């Protein structure tokens, strides 16, 4: 009787572990920070070449061909030189994400210095569409990688800068009469990001049409919120 009970318990345990396998802990991910910053103009040029090579590999071969050896070869440097600055492929991707958002943040800063809301919103929309459409294949892959990599701090910082820029723009004298500008700014960013992300998924190439749709969506939302007294 005891052997039968043991056999039943064994079979139940086996069935449970087969249906619900125990999740093994993943090894800690290597850091995404560069190993060192370039100290001289020549070394800065080397880093720039490596990061640009990474971008071109992603555009040409996707993630399947995205290896450190391929990146080093495209950049014209040794694999040792690459590892001198970047500990792994993900660190290179993080640097590429940082570089690609730089132009967007610079444009947002310019928009925040505008004196007319309409002009500032146009600058922001132009910058957002350009960020997606300038190199659409690269933007699409980096969007995917942002969801995979632990770059939350970077995304939070970018989001805060863009949020503050939109709030500043909405407060300009000719801006819509919106009560809660913080919420409106958050909604505008979410709206624009959603449209651009889906455009990337569909591999859209008509930047002018995309920009027109984004502008219509933003104007419609802001006018609606102002009319509703929100």
Tens of pLDDT, residue by residue over 11-66, are 444 343 333 333 333 333 457 777 777 778 888 999 999 999 999 999 999 999 99
The pLDDT of residue 116 is above 80: yes
Can you read off the two tokens belonging to residue 159? 């989001």
Decide if domain 93-228 falls under CATH 1.10.357.
Answer: yes
Would you state the pLDDT for residue 33? 75
Round to whole Å and give the CA distance between 59 and 227: 44
Same fold across 39-87 and 93-228 = no
pTM above 0.85, yes or no: no
Would you state the pLDDT for residue 220? 96
CATH number of 39-87: 3.90.580.10, 3.20.20.70, 1.10.10.60, 1.10.3470.10? Answer: 1.10.10.60
Mean pLDDT of the chain: 85
Domain ranges of the chain: 39-87, 93-228
| Residue 43 CA, distance from chain mean position | 26
| 9-43 per-residue burial string, b: 16 or more CB within 10 A, e: under 16 | eeeeeeeeeeeeeeeeeeeeeeebebeeeeeeeee
Q: For residue 175, give the DSSP letter.
A: S
With DSSP H G I counted as helix, E B as strand and the rest as coil, what are the percentages for the chain, rounded to 5? 75, 0, 25
Round to whole Å and give the CA distance between 51 and 97: 10
Round to whole Å and give the CA distance between 161 and 167: 10
The pLDDT of residue 3 is above 60: no
Round to whole Å and give the CA distance between 95 and 79: 17
């Amino acid at each position: 009787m005891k052997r039968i009970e043991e056999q039943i318990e064994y079979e139940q345990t086996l069935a449970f572990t087969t249906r619900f396998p125990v999740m093994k802990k993943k090894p800690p991910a290597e850091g995404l920070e560069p190993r060192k910053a370039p100290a001289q103009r020549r070394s800065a040029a080397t880093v720039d070449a490596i990061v640009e090579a990474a971008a071109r590999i992603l555009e040409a071969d996707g993630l399947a061909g995205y290896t450190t050896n391929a990146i080093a070869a495209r950049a014209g440097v040794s694999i040792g030189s690459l590892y001198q600055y970047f500990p792994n492929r993900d660190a290179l991707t993080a640097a590429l994400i940082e570089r690609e958002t730089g132009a967007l943040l610079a444009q947002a800063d310019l928009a925040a210095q505008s004196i007319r809301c309409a002009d500032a919103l146009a600058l922001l929309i132009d910058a957002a569409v350009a960020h997606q459409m300038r190199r659409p294949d690269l933007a699409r892959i980096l969007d995917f990688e942002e969801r995979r990599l632990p770059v939350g701090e970077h995304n939070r910082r970018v989001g805060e800068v863009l949020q503050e820029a939109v709030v500043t723009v909405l407060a300009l004298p000719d801006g819509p009469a919106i009560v809660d500008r913080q919420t409106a700014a958050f909604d505008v960013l979410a709206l624009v990001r959603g449209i651009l992300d889906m455009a990337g998924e569909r591999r859209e190439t008509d930047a002018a049409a995309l920009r027109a749709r984004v502008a219509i969506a933003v104007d419609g939302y802001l006018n609606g919120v102002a009319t509703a007294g929100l």
